[in-house]
Amino acid sequence: MKKNQTLENAIAAIPSGAVVMVGGFGNPGTPFSLINELVRQGQTGLTIIKNDANEPGHGLSRLIENGQVRKLITTHIGLNKGVIELMNQGDLEVAFHPQGMLAEKIRTAGAGSFGFLTDIGIDSEITQPEDLLEWQGQTYKVEMALPAAYALIHAAQADWIGNLVYQGSAINFSPLMAMAANHVIVETPDLGAPGRFKPEHVHTPGAFVDSIVPLESLTSEYGVLEHHVRR
Amino acid sequence: MSAAERILSRAVNEITPGSIVNLGIGLPTQVIRYLPDDFDVQIHSENGILGAWKQSPPEAMDPFLIDAAGAYVSLREGASLFDSAVSFALIRRARLDLTMIGAFEVDEQGNLANWKIPGKFSPGIGGAMELAQKTPRIVVLTTHTDKHGRPKILKSCRLPLTAKACVSRIVSDLAVMDVTPQGLVVREKLVEISDADLQARTEAELTFAA
């Protein structure tokens, strides 16, 4: 079955108030084209789950700056002073998780389980007494799975039945989110016919993917950010 | 040499051959520039790289390959790339030997605070809590005092902790200090400074090794 969709139709599936996972760690893996279409369509009251908020004027930061995000579930926003300011003013609710805990909560949802036990952050302020579980003489923190209705994913390559391949450090949260969301929307600059990948080289099997938006080319947003080039 | 250059050029000596090392956001990621090209080390970057290496020249730079601080990196031979769950499995299973990490505050019990200044600057936890809690050896890279001249090396951290009693060593722009059961022991000075002057810039009580 071909899962090809236009950018407009793919993003129109997302209603206001939705919980949306967005792949990417910094620029690599951020689905800029899908996010920009969400900015254009203007859905509001969104809860976004993403490792970071990108940098001012880029990617997820645009959606936040446009007032479309009610809550951000994230790990680190240190490269975005504007978003820190919105959080400090109370204009954006932000929930921080340790990065590997966020990944594992998403992976757990993607694996069809409901939670896991850990000791990460167990004696820090991110843990409340009600999060603790005594089991056979040990104390653990309960971390619940974190599912979402939608995921926005950038893949380096795809075929039209939804098999995905990622590149470089752009893998990060994408394969986990593709498993954890009910409706997975993928953008890719390189879409081809099934059979193009060696089956054992597929990162995300196509059954997890609902729609694929082919990109004609990658805009400059996907390129090198000059201020991260060391002189 | 600037304060940062003093910290970095001393910090690079903390990396032993054959080790797996995570470099945190801020000063630590810059340590990679001070490593000899043939040095036997695997640099882990928590966004999913084992075997990250120095930045390529602009014409060879890969926009899809960054370190945890967003700087473009290259890969060494034998590098591997993986998702965030695998990356943190490596950390929580203590497969790293050393993490170098920045600090807002560090104290004489080895407690570390680097994720939250309530109401002011809260960048978030990132990978710091898991790295600090699970890496066998944590070396903090920090200026000895903040930009207002106030000590960052304290008797007891006042900010929310990243992890308790996790720090083994502190490399500042002035000295190298070890966290011991008897408190902080100064192992080296990186500038000409008297014991009294160094103590005056430090809230924690320092012991000076003979």
- pLDDT tens column, A152-168: 999 999 999 999 999 99
Name residue A109's beta-bridge partners.
Answer: none
Q: CB A101 to CB B130 under 8 A?
A: yes
Question: In total, how many domains does chain A have?
Answer: 1
Confidence band (pLDDT; 50, 70, 90) for B210?
low
Torsion angle in degrees (nearest 10) through CA of A56, A19, A181, A110 = 90
In this structure, are residues A44 and A207 in contact, taking their beta carbons and an 8 Å threshold?
A: no
Residues of B with CB below 8 A from A55's CB?
70
Compute the radius of gyration of chain A from its Cα atoms: 18
Domain-embedded: residue A230:
no
Domain-embedded: residue A231:
no
pLDDT over 90 at A229, yes or no: no
Q: By percentage, how much of chain B surpasses pLDDT 70?
A: 100
Domain-embedded: residue A110:
yes
Mean pLDDT of A39-49: 98
Q: Which of B5, B14, B46, B77 is catalytic?
A: B46
**CA A208 to CA B51: how far, in whole Å?**
30
pLDDT over 60 at A231, yes or no: no
Q: What is the pLDDT of residues A68-106, one digit of tens each?
A: 999 999 999 999 999 999 999 999 999 999 999 999 999
Domain-embedded: residue A57:
yes
Mean pLDDT of A213-230: 91
Residues spanned by the domain of A181: 7-215
Surface of A (98-127) touching B: CB under 8 A = 98-104, 106-107, 119-121, 123-126
Q: What is the pLDDT of residues B87-142, one digit of tens each?
A: 999 999 999 999 999 999 999 999 999 999 998 888 999 999 999 999 999 999 99
Domain-embedded: residue A227:
no
Domain-embedded: residue A89:
yes
- The size of the A-B interface in CB pairs under 8 A is 154
Torsion angle in degrees (nearest 10) through CA of B194, B196, B200, B202 = 80
Domain-embedded: residue A116:
yes
Q: CA B48, B50, B55, B56 torsion: positive or negative? A: negative
Q: CA A160, A165, A168, A171 torsion: positive or negative? A: positive
Question: pTM for this one?
Answer: 0.97
pLDDT over 90 at B71, yes or no: yes
What is each CA distance from B48 to A172, B17, B44, in whole angstroms?
A: 6, 22, 8
Domain at B3-208, CATH class: alpha beta
Torsion angle in degrees (nearest 10) through CA of A24, A30, A36, A38 = -30
pLDDT of residue B209: 79
Provide the CATH number for the domain around residue A113: 3.40.1080.10
pLDDT of residue A14: 98
pLDDT over 60 at A22, yes or no: yes
pLDDT of residue A227: 84
B46 catalytic per annotation: yes
pLDDT of residue A104: 98
